[in-house]
Amino acid sequence: MSLIKRGNENGVKSVNRRALIVFGAQAGVAGLLAARLRYLQVDQGAQFRLLAEENRINIRLIPPARGLIFDRNWVLLAENLQNYRIVMVREQAGDVKAVLDRLMEIVPLSPRDHATVLKELRRRAAFVPVTIAERLSWSQLAEVMANAPALPGVTAELGLSRHYPLGPDFAHVVGYVGPVSDFDLKHMNDPDPLLQIPKFQIGKSGVERKLERKLRGFAGTRRIEVNAVGRVMREIDRHEGQPGANVQLTIDNGLQNYMLARLGTELSASAVVIDVRNGDLMAIGSSPSFDPNKFVRGISVPDYKDLTQNPYLPLADKAVQGTYPPGSTFKVMVALAALEAGLVTTDETIFCRGYIDLGKQRFHCWKRAGHGRIDLKNSLKQSCDVYYYEMAQRVGIEKIAAMARRFGLGDRAPLPLNGIAAGRIPTKAWKKRTIGESWRIGDSLNAAIGQGFVQASPLQLALMTARLASGRALAARLLKSIDGVETEIAPAPDLGLSPATLDAVRGGMFAVSNERHGTGYASRIAEKSMLMAGKSGTSQVRRITRKERARGITRNLDLPWKRRDHALFIAYAPFDAPRYATAVVVEHGGGGSHFAAPIARDLLLEALYGGTPPLSAYPRSQRTRIQNERDKLILRDPASVVPAKDRA
Amino acid sequence: MSYLVHNYKAVPSGWRKILYLNWPLILLIVAVSMIGFLMLYSVAGGSIHPWVAPQVKRFGVGFVVMLMVAFVPIWFWRNIAGLAYFISLVLLIGVALFGQVGMGAQRWIDLGPIRIQPSELMKIALVMALAAYYDWLDISKVSRPLWVFLPVLMILVPMALVLKQPDLGTALLLALGGGAVMFMAGVSWIYFAVALAAGGGLVATVMLSRGTSWQLLKDYQFKRIDIFLNPALDPLGAGYHITQSKIALGSGGWAGRGYMQGTQSRLNFLPEKQTDFIFTTLAEELGFVGGASLLLLYILIVAFILMSAYNNRDRFGALLTLGIGMTFFLFFAVNMAMVMGLAPVVGVPLPLVSYGGTAMLVLLIGFGLVQSAHIHRPRRT
């Protein structure tokens, strides 16, 4: 059988004749279309162009005012400032370059801005207003208006721009806004037409970003009729938008300001203060910080480079994003787990000879000489490692992990902040899953002293301390109210631990701060009604190697900054009626009792007194030194901030 | 028989086929597609997102598919013409039963990773099937009632299915495209005269059915017809499309408002500016000169297709080529007539220019078939 089934030569002729007829018809239709096109465009073109231009109905968006952000006392943290900007419409300007040159005598532009503006003017359609300069001074504005005849197509518009009056204090918590980028548009999947406005400002970090939808509000629209030169002839109708919701945070601006200043005495530190009664976050600080106002306009390249190349990471919110081995602060969890499981009593003593041997491996106590016979209270007070090596073997990692989880470790708090860290509470199953190795008893020993795989953020440690102080499963709260409606305080169920267990561990923490030889004794509170309970932690970044020992490096301070230990301290006060809990981490600071404990004490006192505490709250011998340190702190004048509710 | 078999050996083979492609036609297709990319770029306000990038990708894929189709011998396509028609018909029925509903119409079918519009496939399959039919049918029988009834049925069944979706534009294209193939195959004039009369009667019936329980079109379709006849009825409502598109066209004038400077399209006065109404943007920004040039390019494409068919002595190849040429012609003619207010708004894209994947792919497959017929045409030695 041939591939070609049939060929019919006779038919082809008929195809050709008919095809020509069809083509004739097609050409006829095309001619008709061309004629119609000509009629519409050329003959009636002038009339239609008039229609298009005279009755050009323009829909303009009215950007809503962004919601304000307040602290717990209604002090403004983020506000909208009015500013004037100058826009130019190309088709009205005529000679764009000449007009721009004249304008630049009043409003100087950098060569880069000048080039950007020219490009933008060329790129956009002739009738679209293009912003030339923003944030004009009043005199500049007046001068532009006075010279209006020489500046055709140039008009001034009133706009709102975000301002953060308290600057660096709230850079991490409140965050900042910035112009919407192509990247944002692609990833936000938000059909809001406001986002199409060039340089429209949206939240880029912190509360500004997480509550973007609430803060932004909804656009209004204005239908206007414009004539051929773009002048607005009349407004047809107007639908007012809806301004964004006002947000009140639980943070206290005074305490926050003090915290940032106090943390600033160290190279890199972070802290959290939380209300033990209801979980309100009173202050969240990460130092060094930065000025969020720089981001609002779009930060300059050298400024941004400074921030990203700073080794102390000012852009990161270390209080919630940073995770550290909690060190000895984690012993609190191990003690609770051991007591609750009935595997140790408060009277039982363990003998610490400075180390224990496990197979071929030797685990040291921080005190090489050993603590001798030591009970639970003293194990916390002096932070004996050997005691917790023993507990780890008795209790096992699973029970320790379960206790830690009960206190919120390893868990991401649902707060409107960026990149909240979950930390890590290791279990046997976790290690198998992620590392692929089975759990070893040595891992438990390391975990028991808060080293090895265990990781926690300052926020988690503060919440843990608050839960310990209250005995209830508090949830942290950052939003106090939205548009005046108080946000719910999550119910805090009882942790379900026996009062005896809790009291034993709290007693140990009390001893840390208030008994001689306690690791935190030097940083105690002297005021009898406000005594604090704490626990220090020093988490090893890496061991001092044998080689370094040979070179004579035995002390942490001899190491380069990046390799030094982290200093941690958790505390709450007053001991008998807990009000505030705190966690402080000084990155690569050294010993927790030395470097973090004084900060924790200062923060608790500041919170308890609602301002600068009297020197009488400190031990007599320290008062002169405290006064000196205090004089060096640069704090904001409390009178400079006035609650907005009072102003109104 | 012996003549064709003998000449089959003169048909180019292997990579040499590249030399025998209808290159002017390919250049024209590429040129028109480029105009499409430029317009999509303009419509997006000077950005390759969201339309240009995917469109270029689809064109690239479609172009390769076109070459693959072109290199397969035309007799293979004839042998599977019936099958292609049958599959398209099954898919159309599938859409009617399980299709995706989008924009008030049921047109899409989901086949795992790809979503296709069987009605688009049918445009090509119907032409193929009819060409194969007339190639098979003895020339003396073409005008006998029974042999006319069969192809009419082949046209009417898919048409009815498409109308049910409802997609008036595609139904129209199927009817006119199929009818044109029948006409060019030599079916007697009398039948076409009768069909024309019947069509008139049908239109009358449809219009009379309005408001009755057996209403044949959806309300919005009737409304579109009303407004087509008198756009002033509702200048800011449903007549909006036509009024605004006429204003856009008209304001273009002789030389247009300049590339990317069209106020009508820029200010979002035009609906579906990236798909069915893209011609208005082109005419607004590039004026009569631009619009007429595009029209000229289209007519040149049709003319090259006709020439290819004219020189083709294989009846299937010639009929298929002509049929595809007619389908292509209908695409742009109906679209342009629609935006210029000469035809109701029926939803036919501007071929190779409008944003859309299936239409682009189907057109390029169609051109692939034209090329295949061109390469593998019988030659005198």
Q: Are residues A124 and A262 in the same domain?
A: no
In Å, how far are A29, A33, B244, B344 from B334, measured between CA atoms?
Answer: 10, 10, 18, 9
In Å, how far are A76, A95, A113, A119, B45 from A116, measured between CA atoms?
Answer: 34, 17, 5, 5, 17
Cβ distance A30 to B333 less than 8 Å, yes or no, reads: yes
What gap in Å lies between CA A177 and CA B277, rounded to an integer? 38
Q: How far A52 CA lies from chain B's nearest CA (Å)?
A: 6
Please tell me the predicted confidence (pLDDT) of residue A66. 92
Q: How far B10 CA lies from chain A's nearest CA (Å)?
A: 14
What gap in Å lies between CA B50 and CA A92, rounded to an integer? 31
Residues B277-321: tens digit of each pLDDT: 889 889 888 999 999 999 999 999 999 999 999 888 888 999 999
In Å, how far are A417, A608, B30 from A248, measured between CA atoms?
Answer: 14, 21, 60
Q: Are residues A500 and A609 in the same domain?
A: yes
Q: How far A50 CA lies from chain B's nearest CA (Å)?
A: 7
Is A593 one of the annotated active-site residues of the chain? no
Considering only CB atoms, which chain B residues are within 8 Å of A36?
337, 340, 342
Residues B81-128: tens digit of each pLDDT: 999 999 999 988 888 887 665 545 556 666 555 567 888 889 999 999
Give, as one character, the DSSP assignment of residue A456. Answer: B
Q: What token pair was written down for A627?
A: 């006064």
Q: Which of residues 85-104 of B touch A (CB under 8 A)?
A: none
In Å, how far are A80, A351, A355, A372 from A369, measured between CA atoms?
Answer: 62, 12, 9, 9
Considering only CB atoms, which chain B residues are within 8 Å of A37?
249, 283, 288, 291-292, 295, 336, 340
> Do the beta carbons of residue B269 and residue B233 sit within 8 Å?
no
Considering only CB atoms, which chain A residues are within 8 Å of B46?
123
Selected for mutation to probe chain B from A1, A8, A121 (highest B CB count within 10 Å) is A8
Residue A149 sits in a domain of what CATH number? 3.90.1310.10
Range of lowest pLDDT (A175-179, A503-507, B264-268): B264-268
A12 falls within a domain: no
Nearest CB to A15 within list B75, B318, B336: B318
What gap in Å lies between CA A485 and CA A424, rounded to an integer? 35
Q: What token pair was written down for A601?
A: 């004490």
A478 falls within a domain: yes
Percentage of chain A beyond pLDDT 90 is 56
Cβ distance B183 to A36 less than 8 Å, yes or no, reads: no
In degrees, to the nearest 5, what angle opens at C-alpha B46 toward C-alphas B42 and B48? Answer: 95
**Predicted confidence (pLDDT) at residue A144 exceeds the cutoff of 90:** no
What gap in Å lies between CA B104 and CA B165, rounded to an integer? 9
- SS3 of A40, please? helix
Q: Does B81 touch chain A (CB under 8 A)?
A: no
Of A60, A292, A325, the closest CA to residue A168 belongs to A292
Find all residues with CB under 8 Å of A51, minimum gap 6, and list them: B247, B250, B251
Residue A388: which domain range?
A: 253-647
Q: Are residues A159 and A262 in the same domain?
A: no
Considering only CB atoms, which chain B residues are within 8 Å of A10?
139
Please tell me the predicted confidence (pLDDT) of residue A330. 96
ipTM over 0.90: no
Nearest CB to B291 within list A4, A41, A48: A41
Instruction: Report which secondary-structure segment, H or E, holds A374.
Output: strand A372-374
Last residue of some domain: A164, A189, A223?
A164
> Do the beta carbons of residue A587 and residue A274 sit within 8 Å?
no
In Å, how far are A89, A484, B59, B313 from B18, measured between CA atoms?
Answer: 53, 74, 19, 21
Q: What token pair was written down for A101?
A: 């040159």
Q: What is the DSSP string of B94-143?
A: HHHHHPEEETTEEEEEEETTEEE-HHHHHHHHHHHHHHHHHHHS-GGGTT
Q: Does B376 touch chain A (CB under 8 A)?
A: no
In Å, how far are A64, A252, A635, B195 from A644, measured between CA atoms?
Answer: 20, 14, 21, 81
Residue A389 sits in a domain of what CATH number? 3.40.710.10
- Cβ neighbours, 10 Å, residue B16: 10
Nearest CB to B292 within list A26, A34, A56: A34
- CB contacts < 8 A (A, B): 164
Last residue of some domain: A111, A142, A164?
A164
Closest CA in chain B for residue A19? B184
What gap in Å lies between CA A263 and CA A288, rounded to an integer? 8
Which is more confident, A544 or B357? B357
**Predicted confidence (pLDDT) at residue A6 exceeds the cutoff of 90:** no
Q: Does B78 touch chain A (CB under 8 A)?
A: yes
Paired with A275 in beta bridges are A580
When pLDDT is cut at 50, 70 and 90, the band that residue B3 belongs to is very low
Range of lowest pLDDT (A433-437, A545-549, B169-173, B371-375): A545-549
Which is more confident, A143 or B65? B65
Find all residues with CB under 8 Å of A544, minimum gap 6, and list them: A553, A554, A556, A559
A229 falls within a domain: no
- Cβ neighbours, 10 Å, residue B87: 15
**Predicted confidence (pLDDT) at residue B245 exceeds the cutoff of 80:** no
What would the mean pLDDT of A17-29 be, rounded to a whole number? Answer: 90
A439 falls within a domain: yes
Give, as one character, the DSSP assignment of residue A67. Answer: P
Last residue of some domain: A164, A198, A220?
A164
A99 falls within a domain: yes
Cβ distance A2 to B288 less than 8 Å, yes or no, reads: no
Nearest CB to A42 within list B263, B269, B288: B288
Q: How far B367 CA lies from chain A's nearest CA (Å)?
A: 18
Please tell me the predicted confidence (pLDDT) of residue A284. 97
The bridge status of strand A247-249 relative to strand A69-70 is parallel
Averaged confidence pLDDT in chain A: 86
pTM of the model: 0.60
When pLDDT is cut at 50, 70 and 90, the band that residue A5 belongs to is very low
Cβ distance A7 to B4 less than 8 Å, yes or no, reads: yes
Q: How far A95 CA lies from chain B's nearest CA (Å)?
A: 18
Considering only CB atoms, which chain B residues are within 8 Å of A14?
139, 185-186
Q: What token pair was written down for A278?
A: 């209801």
Averaged confidence pLDDT in chain B: 84
Q: Are residues A478 and A335 in the same domain?
A: yes
Residues B155-168: tens digit of each pLDDT: 999 999 988 877 78
Q: What token pair was written down for A594?
A: 């030395």
Cβ distance B313 to A16 less than 8 Å, yes or no, reads: no
Number of domains observed in the structure of chain A: 2
Q: Does B255 touch chain A (CB under 8 A)?
A: no
Q: Does B322 touch chain A (CB under 8 A)?
A: yes
Closest CA in chain A for residue B332? A30
Of B83, B82, B69, the closest CA to residue B375 belongs to B69
A267 falls within a domain: yes
- SS3 of A361, please? strand
Range of lowest pLDDT (A242-256, A603-617, B259-273, B334-348): B259-273
| A270, A328, A470, A513: the active-site residue | A328
A24 falls within a domain: no
Selected for mutation to probe chain B from A23, A53, A55, A61 (highest B CB count within 10 Å) is A23
Nearest CB to A16 within list B267, B283, B310: B310
- Cα dihedral across residues A333, A336, A340, A343: positive or negative: positive
Q: What token pair was written down for A2?
A: 């041939």
What length is written for chain A?
648
Q: What is the DSSP string of B139-167?
A: GGGTTSHHHHHHHHHHHHHHHHHHHHTT-
Q: How far A46 CA lies from chain B's nearest CA (Å)?
A: 7
What gap in Å lies between CA A524 and CA A620, rounded to an integer? 11
Cβ distance A46 to B310 less than 8 Å, yes or no, reads: no
Residues A386-400: tens digit of each pLDDT: 999 999 999 999 999
